[in-house]
Structure 1
Amino acid sequence: MTDPADHGATRVVVGDVGLDVVAVPAAPPVTGQDTRAAIAVTAGGAAGNTATWLRGHGLPVTLIARVGDDRAGIAVREELESIDVDCRFAVDPVRPTCCVVVLVEGDDRTLLSDRGANGALAPGDVDLEGFAAGPAHLHLSGYVLFDEGSRAAGVRALAAARERGWSTSVDPQSVPHLQGVGAGRFREWIADVDLVLPNASELAALGGPAAVLAALGPGGAIAVTRGADGAAWIDREATVARANPGPVAVRDATGAGDAFNAGLLAAWLAGASRADALVSGMQDAVRAVTGLGARPVPG
C-alpha cells in the first residue's frame, strides 16, 4: 500500500449515485390504506453520499458512476458539482438514474431500490489513467459487486487502483446481498483490499474478522461499526475500539455508514491514528443520523 497521508492526494469513489425518496409516516402504514407522511426527495446513492461527506472535509474527490439520460441524472450531477465534486459519469441511453424509496420508521429504515443505470456500470466507465501520479485512494461501494451487470467494473476498478499503487477500501453495504452472492465469492472479489468497512452484521455475514483478514492479505484491516456500541479497527496487530460519543437522537439512519466511511477515510488518509480515524468516522455518522437524508446539511 502507498502512503496516502497527503491532504491533497487523489480520492476516487466508485459506485452508485441517484435520488432518494425519503418517507417518514405519521403513523404505522396499513397495507391498502392511505397514511400521511413527510416526504422529501434528496440526492443519494452510497458512493455519492461518501463523496459528498469527503468534500465536507475539504478533500478533493472524484466520483465515478453511471446515470440515466434524464432530468434526475442532470440534477444529481449539478448538485455534486455545486460542491466541487469531480463527476465522471457515464450516461446510459436506456436505463434511468437510480432511485431509492426510503421508508423511515423510528430508528429503522426500509429501502426499495432501483439501481437503474448504476447496474450497467462498465469497466470502460472506470478510467484511472488520467489521474496524476502520487498518493491516491479508491473507495468502492459494494453494491457495484452485487449486480452482475456492474460487477466487472468493480473488480476492474480495484485491480486498476492496485496496479497504480493506490490504497483501496470497500464497503460491503448489505447483508441480504452478501448472503445472495455468498461470503466466499465476495471475499475473493475484495482480495488484497487495504480496508473493509462493514457494520457488525455485514462482518458476520462475511464469515467474521479472521476470514476477512485472511482474504485481505498481510496489510489489510477492518473498520467495523457496531451501532450503539461504537466502532472498532481490527487488523493482525490488535483491535482498537472506540465508544460512541454519547446518546444520539436518530432522525434518519439513511447513509450513516456512507458518512462513517468518509469521516474515517478523511482522517486515516491524512495520517491519523486508528483510534482518531474511528472517532472521525463516528462524528460524521452522528451528523448523518440526526438529519433527514443521507447528505450533510449545510451549516
Structure 2
Amino acid sequence: MILYIGNNLKSKLTNQTTLTLLSNLLRDEGYLVKISSSINNPFLRLISMLWAIITYRRKTDYVLIDTYSTKNFYYALVTSQLCRILKLKYIPILHGGNLPYRLDKSQKLSKLIFMNSYINVAVSKYLEHEFDKRGYKSVFIPNVLEIENYTFQKREISTPKLLYVRAFASIYNPEMAIKVLYEVKKEYPDALLCMVGPEKDNSFNSCKALAKKFGIENSIEFTGMLPKKEWHEKSKDYNIFINTTNIDNAPVSVIEAMALGLPIVSTNVGGLPFLIENNNTGILVNKNDIKAMANAISSLCKNQETVNYLTMNARKQVNEYDWSKVKTLWHNILQ
C-alpha cells in the first residue's frame, strides 16, 4: 500500500492537484493508495497526516510526501520523522524553485528529511541537480501530463497576443508582463495581453495601476483564476506564452503551454534553463529584462520558421511527461 501525504484541499477554483492526479494514475496501475489530508485548518491537517501514518503503518510499503520550501517544509519534516520512528520507507516528492534555498538555510533539518529518505524524487532536472550537488540522492520523475488532453495548435503570428498564466505574486513578477506589453506596443500597437491567475498579494493591484499609468488597460484582460480546461480553451486565441518569474522550478503552466503549441518566452531563472533549451524549445531572457523579452516577441512575429521549430521541439519534449512514459519510472521505485 502507498500512503500519499500532501495538500488535498478542494475548491471550485482549484485545478486538479498533482497529488490527486498521481494517486489516481497509480491506482489505475493496481496500487492501493490512501491520501491525507483534505482538512482546511493547517494544524488539524498536520494531525490528520500523522494519524494516517500511524493508522496505516502496518499496511504501508511507501509513504509519498509532497515537499515544498515554505510552510509545507515543516509538514514534510514532522511526517518524515514519524516515518523514521515507525521504520517506514518515505519518499519526498520535491517541488518548488526555492527548495535549494531551504536546503542551505535549514541544513540540519534538511538532512533529517532528505538523508534518511528511501529516495528523493525531483519533479524537475533542476531540483535533481541541486539536490545531487548537496549530496542528497535523488531521481528525476517529472510531473505527469496527460498528453491526450492537449491539442497541439500551430501558431501563425503577425500581431503579438500574449498569454500569462501564473498567480499574481511578487516572486512571479507579473508587473513585468505589463511593462513588456507596453514595450511591444511601440512596434505592434494592436498587441494584446491576457493574464490568468489568482491574487496572492498586492501584485494584482500593482498590475492594474501600471496598466492605467501606461494607458494600455484596454489591451489587457484579467480573468482571475480559471480552471485548466477554460484557460486551455482561451489559449487558442493567443500566440505567445510569456513567463516573467524571478524564482521558479518547472512551472506546470509552462509545460502545458509547450504541449498546446504556444512558443515560450521566459526569464532565465531557477529551473527554467533545465526545462527550456534556449533557441531550441523556447527563448530565455535575463530576469526583469523587459527590452530583451520584447525583442524576443518581436523576433517571433517576424520569423514563422522559428516559431514552428521551437513549438515542435517543445511538444516533442513534453511528450516524455505522458503517463505512458512516467509510469515506468515510478514502477522502478515502487516495485
Question: What TM-score, normalized by structure 1, do the two folds share?
Answer: 0.43
Answer 1 or 2: which has greater helix percent: 2
